[in-house]
Structure 1
Amino acid sequence: MARRDYEDDPDAPKPNSLVPAASVVVVDGAGRVLLQRRTDNGMWALPGGTMELGESLADCGIRETREETGLDVEITGIVGTYTNPGHVFAYDDGEVRQEFSICLLGRPVSGELRFSDESFEVAWFTPQQTDDLPMVPSIRKRITDWRSGRTPVVR
């Protein structure tokens, strides 16, 4: 399903849903961060997605990372909370979701890197290599917050 991100855009559609979600900054032993290139917008992003009934936030982050990248991770902390009511995602089915995401910190424990139906590329990057990658502002904000070491951040 196609989606368009709006952040503090006066022309954005009004939200009609609010769904808890988790994203994960996965950092390997060399200090590199794991990113995926999304099929819905072609941008680089952190693994993540919406919580399902019966799972914890950490379970959501672990499941989404496994589904989207092939890696199993251990959650080691929180990067921040992101709840900007001016940031909405408009889906082609008419849903317009207000941002409600907790960004977790994790490390890989097993698995093999692969892409999924939500991504067409998955790769490790040094923090400096992320500077020039195409990504939506909300993902860039999470990576900047992780790089700054100010955890957790509430936005």
Structure 2
Amino acid sequence: MESHWLTHAKRLQAIASTGLHFCKDVHDRERYQEIADIAHDMLAQLGNVPLERITDLVSDFAQRYSTPMVEVRGALIEDGKILLVREQHDGLWALPGGYADVGLSASENVIKEIHEEAGLEVAVRALYGVRHKAKGPYKADHRDFYKLYFLCERQGGPAPVAGSEATDAGFFALEQLPPLSLGRTVERDIQEAFDFQQGKTTQVLFD
């Protein structure tokens, strides 16, 4: 779970972003901009990164009502093993998925991501988890995310092959997981997929 300071800094940033988008009064805009500057400085110091890096991460700052980003992940389990892909970014492993694209439903995004990252055609069976990234055991992030997890089934086809957004893909047993990319997937996400697939959990898990 992220620190209280990171949570507060992100909340201040969101308030400033929304305020600057809607506010017309020049004096109030100055105050919102001051809050934004403070929030960005806090985030830069908390992450030990240049201030420019923080502003780059929020390219839509003050352009709309500030809301969490959406990430989708797909769990494909076959013969007691789960599909994982090796991320280009850090060389670690994760459930296939990524940012949700505009114009596609959540399930359509999952289907697209698994095809792009592992070369497989799948159908979405069920939603098994909706997680707030900030409240989970993930690597800290300056952005705010809702993470949606779907259980999938393969629609035939060959063995998984890494696509353009991954360097490797394969199936792994729960007790033999490779090093995970903890900003994207933690062991809990994988355990919950197995539990749902085996009927141990029948309701969507959420924060």
TM superposition score normalised by structure 2: 0.59
Contact 1:89 1:99 survives alignment (8 Å): no
Q: CA RMSD in A?
A: 2.5
In our comparison, the structure showing a higher alpha carbon Rg is 2
Find runs of 4+ consecutive structure 1 residues off by over 6 angstroms: none
Q: Which fold has the larger relative contact order, with Cα–Cα distance below 8 Å and residues 6 or more apart in sequence? A: 1
For 1:66 and 1:9, the matched residues in 2 are separated by 35
Structure 1 match to 2:168: 121
Question: How big is each residue's C-alpha offset from its partner over 1:69-106, in whole Å with a ceiling of 9 and x where there is no partner?
Answer: 0001111112200113356765xxxxx42121110000
Asked if 1:105 corresponds to 2:151, the answer is yes
Structure 1 match to 2:2: 8
Of 99, 102, 109, 1:53 maps to 102
Say which structure is richer in helix: 2
Query: Following superposition of structure 1 onto structure 2, how do residues 31-70 of structure 1 map, counting pairs within 5 Å?
Result: 31-70=80-119
Question: How big is each residue's C-alpha offset from its partner over 1:21-79, in whole Å with a ceiling of 9 and x where there is no partner?
Answer: 21001112x13210011111121100011222221111000001100100011111122
Counterpart residue identity of residue 179, structure 2: P
Of 73, 76, 91, 1:26 maps to 76
The alpha-carbon deviation at position 108 of structure 1 amounts to 1.1
For 1:70 and 1:56, the matched residues in 2 are separated by 20
Aligned length, in residue pairs: 141
Change (3 A) 1:89 1:65: farther
SS at the partner of 1:117? Answer: coil
Change (3 A) 1:43 1:10: farther
The alpha-carbon deviation at position 9 of structure 1 amounts to 4.5
The alpha-carbon deviation at position 11 of structure 1 amounts to 7.4
Contact 1:12 1:88 survives alignment (8 Å): no
SS at the partner of 1:141? Answer: helix
Query: Following superposition of structure 1 onto structure 2, how do residues 128-147 of structure 1 map, counting pairs within 5 Å?
Result: 128-130=175-177, 133-135=178-180, 136=182, 138-147=185-194
For structure 2, the 5+ residue unaligned runs are 11-57, 59-66
